[in-house]
Amino acid sequence: MARLPGISRNLNAFLDMIAVSEGTAGIGDDGYNVLVGSTRNKPSLFHGYAAHPGVIVDLGRGLKSSAAGRYQILGRFALAYSRQLGLKDFSPESQDKIAIQLIKECGALDEIEAGKIVRAIYLCRSRWASLPGAGYGQRENSMGRLLVAFKEAQGETA
């Protein structure tokens, strides 16, 4: 479960849902130390939260990625958001703050708080390749699966 205190149950549930969608939930430190391409059966973890690990992983088919952490944040974005938000590391708290900033930039925060999760997922699809309709040519989850994950994380829909 997301660890950032002082945020709503729905926002925590949405963060948990993203981790499920990205395939990081329950791996390592509940996804916070996961490198792209990890699976439950074959986890690839980074050690230490001083900074984004910056590891480039060859995913095959000409795809390479530096995505890391619970929300699979690319290295270049981690650096930019760390500067913007005044973060000093890539700790779980910092990762949560970056994910929340991404959600805000998508205009989805009010939708999440109102329980309009389908709309929030739709608004955030440009930020996470695993969300339905993202269109990045990668595995996308079904809306049904994500709604189940959101509800399992104690989120409430409208």
Q: Which residue has the tokens 């699976």?
A: 39
**Residues 6+ away with beta carbon under 8 Å from 45:** 27, 28, 29, 33, 34, 35, 38
Catalytic-role residue among 22, 93, 113, 156: 22
Q: What would the pLDDT profile of 132-144 be if each residue is shown by its tens digit?
A: 999 887 889 999 9
CATH for 9-152 (1.10.530.10, 2.40.40.20, 2.160.20.80, 3.30.565.10): 1.10.530.10
In the chain the first and final C-alpha atoms are separated, in Å, by 22
pTM attached to this predicted model? 0.94
In this structure, are residues 102 and 127 in contact, taking their beta carbons and an 8 Å threshold?
Answer: yes
* Residue 136 confidence (pLDDT): 83
Ranges of beta strands (E only) in the chain are 57-60, 63-65
Q: Which of 5, 3, 10 is nearest to 153 (CA)?
A: 10
The tokens describing 31, both together, are: 């996804």
Per-residue pLDDT tens, the chain, 158 aa: give them. Answer: 566 778 999 999 999 999 999 999 999 999 999 999 888 888 899 999 999 999 999 888 888 999 999 999 999 999 999 999 999 999 999 999 999 999 999 999 999 999 999 999 999 999 999 999 998 878 899 999 999 999 999 999 99
Let me know if 22 is a catalytic residue: yes
Beta strands in 18-110 (DSSP E): 57-60, 63-65
Going by the DSSP 8-state scheme, the letter that residue 34 receives in this structure is B
Where is 19: in which H helix or E strand?
helix 9-22
Q: pLDDT tens, 58-76?
A: 888 888 999 999 999 999 9
Q: What is the dihedral of CA 97, 76, 37, 130, to 10 degrees?
A: 60
